[in-house]
Amino acid sequence: MKIVVAPDSFKESLTSLQAATAIAQGIRESIPSAQVEIAPMADGGEGTVEALTAAAKGTLHHAIVCGPLGLPIETTYGLIARRSDVGDSETATRTAVIEAASLFGLQQTPASRRDPYVTTTRGMGELLLQLLDEGIRSFVIGLGGSATNDGGMGLLAALGARFYDADERLLPGFGRDLPEVRRIDGSGLDSRLADCDILVASDVRNQLCGEQGASAVYGPQKGATPEQIAALDEALRRYASLWAEEAGRAAMEIPGAGAAGGAGYALLLLGARMAPGAEVVASEARLREKLADADWVVTGEGKSDAQTLFGKLPVYVARLAKSAGVRTILLSGSLGDNARELESEFAACFPCVPRPMALAECLEQAEDHLRSCARNVARLLSAQAR
């Protein structure tokens, strides 16, 4: 029996690699003869670096950069040999994998201090500069889980762009600076960026501005007040207009420009390409090839409910598996309201928590519960195969 294990991360408790490892261990305890292949997954948000780096058998590295609140933080990035098909041959390019969540993510910002006016994307620009100095010219950038709404202003400032207010004072690139921008000078952007291939992995398709823009849709979870949302949306529109004059290209209407509070827009200005995060990780993990002769797929996430059906990673995995004629089982930390609707996508859904427990206890024991649940599910699969 071949079982492919391809979970998302379990928020606040397990990375996708840790979750995949726990599930695989549980399966092997019940079915020692099973061929178990793990493919840790992510969608561009938290865990993308670890999942993609593990999938590509790359290496993890650390760097010190500006954090979302302007203080130094340590961040993790991956180095992989990324495959690119050229004719009948296959080449590999040294590629850096970075993610917004570990540079200026919500988990980097205490809930009591979440305010898009005091956060910045500058750390991503600083990390890109360090990697350019190391000779890297290929990047995969996950955008998701950000605490910022600066339009990528901090990112671009770190890369050499200059932003001025009405009095010609230089602005550093925090959210509070965005409404003050009156002139942009992009001539100082690092010239090496022109030689770079930047792939943005993100499932966010929002445009930069408007009712479905970065500020209106994602601003509230970053601590924005209704007044700030309106001000930031207006500021982003003016900011984009200034960039259109300076760079000679408009990108604010492109789907994904609103990702990570407009960091997607900034990366589009640099010539980035956008692709769904799950597809990028699945490609590097060779998930399609692994599914070709599989009997079952096991995926998972921290909490599953009817919202899981709206583009969340486990459903992507299930649909990919279905196209290969393989059934999928979902293991979740908990099953929420209307979880029965998930039956349309999964052969079966199992919550991992064995009894009523406090959230803190659930998170602390998440690995043991997941492994135990996988062990029981595997026993059922073994009995069914007899």
Lowest model confidence (mean pLDDT) among 48-57, 217-226, 243-252:
243-252
pLDDT over threshold 90, residue 383: no
Domains in the chain (CATH in brackets) are 2-41+285-385 (3.40.50.10350), 48-278 (3.90.1510.10)
pLDDT over threshold 80, residue 194: yes
Query: Who has greater pLDDT, 120 or 333?
Result: 120
pLDDT band at 90 (very low <50, low <70, confident <90, very high): low
What's the pLDDT score for residue 203? 83
Alpha carbon distance 354, 359 (integer Å): 13
pLDDT in tens, 167-189: 999 999 999 999 999 999 999 99
pLDDT band at 108 (very low <50, low <70, confident <90, very high): confident
Q: What is the mean pLDDT of residues 138-162?
A: 96
pLDDT in tens, 290-327: 999 999 999 999 888 877 877 789 999 999 999 999 99
Q: What is the mean pLDDT of residues 211-215?
A: 94
What's the pLDDT score for residue 88? 44
Average pLDDT, the chain: 92
Alpha carbon distance 232, 178 (integer Å): 7
Q: Are 89 and 79 in contact (CB under 8 A)?
A: no
Q: What is the mean pLDDT of residues 69-98?
A: 82
Q: What is the mean pLDDT of residues 245-253?
A: 84
pLDDT band at 340 (very low <50, low <70, confident <90, very high): confident
What's the pLDDT score for residue 89? 45
pLDDT over threshold 70, residue 153: yes
Q: Would you state the structure tokens that stand for residue 69, as one six-digit string?
A: 């609140």
Closest CA to 298 of 362, 371, 385: 371
What's the pLDDT score for residue 105? 93
What's the pLDDT score for residue 306? 77
pLDDT band at 86 (very low <50, low <70, confident <90, very high): very low
Question: Would you say how long the chain is, in residues?
Answer: 386
Q: What is the 3-state secondary structure (H, E, C) of the chain?
A: CEEEECCCCECCCECHHHHHHHHHHHHHHHCCCCEEEECCCCCCCCCHHHHHHHHCCCEEEEEEEECCCCCEEEEEEEEEEEEEEECCEEEEEEEEEEECHHHHEHHHCCHHHCCCCCCCCHHHHHHHHHHHHCCCCEEEEECCCECCCCCCHHHHHHCCCEEECCCCCECCCCHHHHHHCCEEECCCCCHHHHHCEEEEECCCCCCCCCCCCHHHHHCHHHCCCHHHHHHHHHHHHHHHHHHHHHHCCCCCCCCCCCHHHHHHHHHHHCCCEEECHHHHHHHHCCHHHHHCCCCEEEEEEEEECHHHHCCCHHHHHHHHHHHCCCEEEEEEEEECCCHHHHHHCCCEEEECCCCCCCHHHHHHCHHHHHHHHHHHHHHHHHHHHC
Which of 178-192, 276-290, 296-310, 357-371 holds the top average pLDDT? 178-192
What's the pLDDT score for residue 95? 96
Closest CA to 155 of 104, 199, 191: 104
pLDDT in tens, 13-48: 898 999 999 999 999 999 999 999 999 999 898 889
Q: What is the mean pLDDT of residues 42-58?
A: 91
What's the pLDDT score for residue 307? 73
Q: What is the mean pLDDT of residues 186-201?
A: 97
Lowest model confidence (mean pLDDT) among 203-217, 272-286, 351-365:
351-365
Share of the chain above pLDDT 90, in %: 76
pLDDT band at 363 (very low <50, low <70, confident <90, very high): confident
